[in-house]
Amino acid sequence: MLLVAGLGNPGAEYANNRHNIGFMAVDEVVRRHGFSPFRSKFQGELAERNLGGEKVLILKPMTFMNESGRSVLAAMSFYKIAPEDVLIIHDEIDLAGGKVRIKRGGGHAGHNGLRSIHSHIGPNYGRVRLGVGHPGEKGKVAGHVLKDFAKADHVWLDPLIDGFGEHFPKLVDGDDGHFMTKIAEAINPPRPNAPQSSPDDVSGAAKKADK
């Protein structure tokens, strides 16, 4: 069983904030893969389904970001899930917008949602870090993450969320590297190779030139 928690703040006024990219990502997973409708449970909203032969729980804590750990712990305790089977989806200011990195264990790097989760379940969980960029000064971080994404951000945000939903089964399978590659390709599609001339094409062109 896998518990996937997307972090954010509840309420319409926060819905499009950079801090809520975790909510956006798991909403797309639930929509795309036919999860059960969200229902209120564990101080959050919970959806579930079997995916790739494994039961997957999607949780959106409704405790506000700074208390996310209470909701995560409640779900873990009920289903007897180990920290190693928990995956947290969250915004990351230390990554440029559109960059995605996966980390297993380690510190919380000052992220208030992760800080709360650390205090409740320890550090041995996985996290998918979704880059939202840094405002440039430490004093501007709170204002940066609690503001809506700019229009220009949607150049990378929309394909990131879409790609997250499409390739989510790779995360369930533990194929982190392939997942990150597919997200990168969704944001920056590889350029098609220029068609190469075959020997017959070259000889044909040479014959035309001789005429």
Distance CA 30, CA 37 (A): 8
DSSP H/E element including 61: strand 54-61
| Active site annotation includes 19 | yes
Distance CA 20, CA 33 (A): 20
70 and 120 in contact (C-beta within 8 Å)?
A: yes
Q: Which of 19, 90, 111, 144 is catalytic?
A: 19
Q: What is the DSSP string of 6-30?
A: E----SGGGTTBGGGHHHHHHHHHH
Q: How many CB atoms lie within 10 A of CB 204?
A: 12
Give catalytic residue positions: 19
